[in-house]
């Protein structure tokens, strides 16, 4: 009997020139989201988030810090997925590709309403932690 296990993902709250960088997702589930994706076998979560950020928006990350772990089995409508969330500063010029249809730079207090996954909760936790 095959045992089901949750998938492991990474996301990053990217500060880019004083704004929060979000992508508009090209694929389901649609909406605005933090940059992130799945960890590949044999890859550390730190390498995974750096790779995902480079693939999706063409940036490098500085000041990468662990923010938290989000593990609600209902956080992703595609199935049980645990996300390790980081914060970091985006460096370079934004160039969307991969899973990103578009990008937006948002004030933390003026985020779009249609956030994917549990990213509204993650960003609310970020505001609370840093008293923004």
pLDDT of residue 125: 98
pLDDT of residue 69: 98
pLDDT of residue 132: 86
Q: Is the dihedral of CA 110, 73, 64, 132 positive or negative?
A: positive
Distances from the Cα of 13 to the Cα of 3, 10, 29, 67, angstroms: 32, 10, 19, 9
pLDDT of residue 99: 81
pTM of the model: 0.95
CATH class of 7-129: alpha beta
Domain ranges of the chain: 7-129
User: Which positions of the chain have pLDDT values less than 70?
Assistant: none
């Amino acid at each position: 009997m095959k045992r089901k296990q949750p998938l492991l993902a990474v996301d990053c709250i990217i500060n880019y020139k004083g704004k929060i960088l979000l992508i508009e997702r090209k694929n389901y589930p649609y909406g605005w989201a933090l940059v992130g994706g799945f960890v590949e076998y044999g890859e550390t979560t730190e390498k995974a988030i750096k790779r995902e950020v480079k693939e999706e928006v063409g940036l490098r990350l500085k000041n990468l810090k662990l923010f938290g772990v989000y593990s609600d089995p209902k956080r992703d409508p595609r199935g049980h997925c645990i996300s390790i969330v980081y914060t970091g500063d985006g460096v370079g010029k934004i160039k969307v590709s991969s899973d990103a249809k578009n990008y937006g730079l948002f004030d933390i207090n003026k985020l779009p309403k249609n956030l994917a996954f549990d990213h509204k909760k993650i960003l609310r936790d970020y505001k609370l932690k840093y008293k923004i």
